[in-house]
Structure 1
Amino acid sequence: MNYLVAVMSDRIQAEGAYLALEKEGIKSSILGRGYKTADEFGLIDPKEEAGKQAKFMAIWLVPFGFFAGFTFSVITGLNTFAWAGEIGNHVVGGLLGAVGGAMGSVFVGGGVGLVSGGGDALPYRNRLDAGKYLIVVQGAESNTRDATRVLRRFDPENIQGYADKISA
């Protein structure tokens, strides 16, 4: 499946492009104010993906951090918290390790999700937030090629094609 996304500056331009595509027999969708939203169409929200990634990483980093902190305390024999006793020191070391694991999941998991999550979805979401409109065409390569020819007549701000790669 191939995708073609064109950014139109206003509603009139988007509707004209949509009608021209319809006249050529090409199915398309309009995203923008008064039409489909990014969420309805399925554009991934990078912040949501970052949260999911951070939670996923916390599942294994927090217990690993506790184990690592506890083990470090046992191996080194540090008596950092005299009030806690020997076992208490190890437990406190484990808790501090778990906190470190939680911080790692937020900074690394969430940071990676914000940087890599969504691909081109974020710039398209930003354009929708700025009042622009998107025309999206899905279909075979010949379909998106014909749509490109039609959409270029409307002088879009940006036009970008994508291809789903299926590995056999």
Structure 2
Amino acid sequence: MAICVLVLAERDHADQLNEQLKAAETPLTRCELIQPATNSETQPERTASEPKGNGNPLQSMDIDSIERLSPKLTRSRRQKLMAVWLLPFGFIFGIFITLSTDMDTFASYGTLGASIIGGLLGLVSGWMGSYAAAISVKIPNAEDVRILRNRHDQGQWLLLLETPMGIELPWKVLREANPLALTSLSEL
């Protein structure tokens, strides 16, 4: 699958490109329009609810709702996936360590109580480990994503396109749209 992001000055360019891709019957698995950041310095030419033209305009989205362009979402998903196996492993390992050592830290709770407390401590360490593991992994295309987020903050529209596996993006059509920038995020 090929994934690219076009940086566009106006929303109309995205709608026109979407119509061209539909007319050319380009198979896309994703075609998402990201509205620019709005603050006092950078105001988009139109808001997401006011597309010009007829036809079927693209729905605009917030950049933080798209995982490929949001490091926070990527990290959160990775942490949850790590927790799925680190929490049970930590619990079981905590029980095992408590039973296999002669530590009397929780001896007043009896053998079963001490093992359960050891398991709970292992569970907590697994939870903390899932956060540490999620933070330590480098995000793919981090530099490209940072540049795209800066363009977004400058008040420019982003159009994310993704094709199915084995199908190339129509690069000629994309370049003819005269985007301000064209960034390829990945090819798998």
Q: Does 1:160 align with 2:183?
A: yes
TM-score by length of 2: 0.58
- Report the structure number with the largest CA radius of gyration: 1
| Alignment equivalent of 2:85, drawn from 23, 40, 60 | 60
Q: Report the CA distance shift for 1:63/1:95 in structure 2 as closer, same or farther (over 3 A).
A: same
Q: Report the CA distance shift for 1:70/1:121 in structure 2 as closer, same or farther (over 3 A).
A: same
Q: Report the CA distance shift for 1:47/1:117 in structure 2 as closer, same or farther (over 3 A).
A: farther
RMSD: 3.9
Q: What is the identity percentage for the equivalent residue pairs of Structure 1 and Structure 2?
A: 27
Distance 2:169 2:131 in 1: 44
Q: Is the 8 A contact 2:141 2:185 kept in 1?
A: no
Q: Report the CA distance shift for 1:18/1:160 in structure 2 as closer, same or farther (over 3 A).
A: same
Question: In the alignment, residue 66 of structure 2 is paired with which amino acid?
Answer: L
Q: Does 1:96 align with 2:121?
A: yes
TM-score by length of 1: 0.63
Give secondary structure in 1 for the equivalent of 2:95.
Answer: helix
| Alignment equivalent of 1:73, drawn from 98, 101, 109 | 98
* CA-CA distance at 1:57 after TM superposition: 2.2
Q: Report the CA distance shift for 1:79/1:49 in structure 2 as closer, same or farther (over 3 A).
A: same
Q: Report the CA distance shift for 1:84/1:118 in structure 2 as closer, same or farther (over 3 A).
A: farther
* CA-CA distance at 1:79 after TM superposition: 0.4
Q: Give deviations 1:5-42, integer Å, cap 9, x for gaps.
A: 3324x43xx64x5588589x556975424242246xx8
Distance 1:122 1:71 in 2: 44
Whose helix proportion is higher, 1 or 2? 1
Where structure 1 has 5 or more consecutive residues not aligned to the other structure, the ranges are: none
1:116 maps to: 139
Distance 2:15 2:91 in 1: 60
Q: Report the CA distance shift for 1:164/1:93 in structure 2 as closer, same or farther (over 3 A).
A: same
